């Protein structure tokens, strides 16, 4: 390659990037149908996936944002189905130094999955039992983990304070989130109906419910 290296005109200031991004999201995404307390979560979800239309597919129970906030302030742990969700959660913004736990790669999970005849993700949810009561669960990948969690609760298992359900994919993802939305346990939830979801969206939702959108205030 000869000559001058390419020079691109783009925004470099992180504060300006965030401000512009969230301004664009608020201008393009449908938010009016959502409770005001969920606007920050919706904005972060759109920011995470780049698609303003996803807000039309959100499903929630009344007071889910308060349930998450109360649980986190009380020191509740956060359980995730995959490391990508755990890594996406901004730990410094959790109000009580809350533990973030992903049990997917713990010893014995593979053998437990074989014993139960299910996926590792579902088997890993079995290891949440001791700390699940009053916890916040954030699922961003595995429909089987969400289904198994609901089955555990239905069988009399511990009840988390709230479930954020964002499994992604073509087999079971939409169905698992419908099961969450229709759960008879009165457990507060936030979910994205259909096939869309993923770890980035799940982590974004928890980050917003934990700390709002402080990036919009960057000077």
Q: Is a pLDDT exceeding 90 seen at residue 2?
A: no
Which residue in 33, 39, 47, 148 is the catalytic one? 47
**pLDDT digit string (tens) for 94-112?**
999 999 999 999 999 999 9
47 given a catalytic annotation: yes
Q: Is a pLDDT exceeding 80 seen at residue 217?
A: no
Q: Is a pLDDT exceeding 80 seen at residue 54?
A: yes
Measured CA distances, 5 to 2, 167, 197 (Å): 8, 43, 39
Q: Is a pLDDT exceeding 60 seen at residue 9?
A: yes
Q: Is a pLDDT exceeding 70 seen at residue 218?
A: no
DSSP state of 5: P
CA–CA separation, 139 vs 38, rounded Å? 18
Q: Is a pLDDT exceeding 80 seen at residue 216?
A: no
**What is the DSSP code string of 101-137?**
EE-TTSTTHHHHHHHHTS-HHHHHHHTTHHHHTT-EE
The pTM of the full predicted model, rounded to 2 decimals, is: 0.93
């Amino acid at each position: 390659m000869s000559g001058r290296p390419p020079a691109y005109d783009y925004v470099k200031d992180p504060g300006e990037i965030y401000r512009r991004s969230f301004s664009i999201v608020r201008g393009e995404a449908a938010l009016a149908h959502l409770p005001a307390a969920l606007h920050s979560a919706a904005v972060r979800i759109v920011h995470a996936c780049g698609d303003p239309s996803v807000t039309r597919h959100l499903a929630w129970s009344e007071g889910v944002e308060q349930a998450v906030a109360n649980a986190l302030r009380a020191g509740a742990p956060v359980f995730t189905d995959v490391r990508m969700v755990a890594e996406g959660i901004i730990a410094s913004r959790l109000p009580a130094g809350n533990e973030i736990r992903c049990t997917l790669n713990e010893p014995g999970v593979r053998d437990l999955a074989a014993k139960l005849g299910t996926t590792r993700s579902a088997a890993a949810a079995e290891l949440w039992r001791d700390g699940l009561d009053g916890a916040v669960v954030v699922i961003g990948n595995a429909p089987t983990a969400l289904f198994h969690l609901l089955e555990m609760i239905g069988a009399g298992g511990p009840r988390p304070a709230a479930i954020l359900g964002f499994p992604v994919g073509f087999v079971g993802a939409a169905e698992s989130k419908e099961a969450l939305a229709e759960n008879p346990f009165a457990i507060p939830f936030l979910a994205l109906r259909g096939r869309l979801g993923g770890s980035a969206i799940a982590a974004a939702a928890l980050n917003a419910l934990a700390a709002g959108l402080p990036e919009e205030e960057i000077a």
